[in-house]
Amino acid sequence: MPELIAKTALSDKKPATFAGTTLAEADPGPVASIALFPGQEKALAKALKPMVFPAPNSFTENGGVRLVWTGRDQAFLIGAEPPALDGIAAVTDQSGGWATLTVTGPVAAEALMRLVPLDLRPTFAVGQAARAPLGHMQSVIFRTAADGFTVMVFRSMARTAWHEIEVALRSLAARAALI
Amino acid sequence: MRLTCPLCGPRDRREFYYYGSEDYLQRPGPDAGPEAWDDHLHLRDNIAGEVRDLWYHETGCSQWLIVTRNTVTHEILSTELVADRKKKGVRA
Ligand SMILES: [Zn+2]
């Protein structure tokens, strides 16, 4: 069988910087959905160690691997292959299904707030995550640094998401240039 | 109008899909007669006051909610997860 080459959704896009803020695609490595079976909280906590299953609207991190809350009793394990969780949780590979973008810089929150109806100023702290619409797209958004966000959208929406965020950044840069 | 999703917090109503009365959770048994099914599928009260409806948090956490609101005052009185209702052993 031939070796197939895995490509990310936006592999032809180079990072773009406007108003000192950079939009880039990230290659998160493996992404797996972990959906807890009822009553298996303790077994899951044990099996995931040293990772910690995140509370709603947050993510946990350990050695570059993240567990991001994505729904009721559900999180995405990003950056590592999932452990064996037979009988504890439903594990489904999501790796090819999502596009991952990062927005980093002084106007990252302002740009995203043009598209996401959430207050993403510092009250949305590092470690917080949300399921929220980006325009009309379902997304996963989480803050990884004071000036940095990661945005995940369905792979089929990758170009639209990139375009929308780029337009928001361009608008902010244009406005800053007028002052 | 904003709805407070028990998981996601307060969100704009455009994030939600409206389905209809929580009556839809009271599904008749397979042997119930045609009247029961007709009632379940088609007959609704038209209340001026407190109603309990199903809303889906479509662009959020993808959970079904039961929202109690007042159609006269537009007050939102409570939001709960349908899943929690099941957990509590209520037939759904
Ligand atoms: Zn929600």
Mean pLDDT of A151-156: 98
Q: What pLDDT, in 10s, does the model give residues A60-115? A: 999 999 999 999 999 999 999 999 999 999 999 999 999 999 999 999 999 999 99
User: How many whole angstroms from B60 Cα to the centroid of ligand 1?
Assistant: 5
User: How many whole angstroms from A114 Cα to the centroid of ligand 1?
Assistant: 20
| Structural domain range at position B17 | 2-84
CATH 3.30.1360.120 is held by the domain A21-28+96-178: yes
Is residue B26 one of the residues assigned to a domain?
A: yes
Is residue B77 one of the residues assigned to a domain?
A: yes
Provide the residues around ligand 1 (an ion) whose CB is within 5 A: B 5, 7-8, 57, 60-61
Q: Does B36 touch chain A (CB under 8 A)?
A: no
Site of tokens 């504890």: A88
* Closest-CA residue to B54 (of B9, B17, B10): B17
Q: For B31, list phi and psi in degrees, rounded to 5.
A: -95, 0
Q: What pLDDT, in 10s, does the model give residues A17-40? A: 999 999 999 999 999 999 999 999
User: What's the domain count of chain B?
Assistant: 1
* Closest-CA residue to A161 (of A23, A21, A6): A23
Mean pLDDT of A116-144: 97
Statement: residue B35 has pLDDT above 70: yes
pTM, whole model, 2 decimals? 0.93
Cα B91 from chain centroid (whole Å): 14
Spell out which residues of chain A touch residue B87, defining contact as CB-CB under 8 Å.
Answer: 38
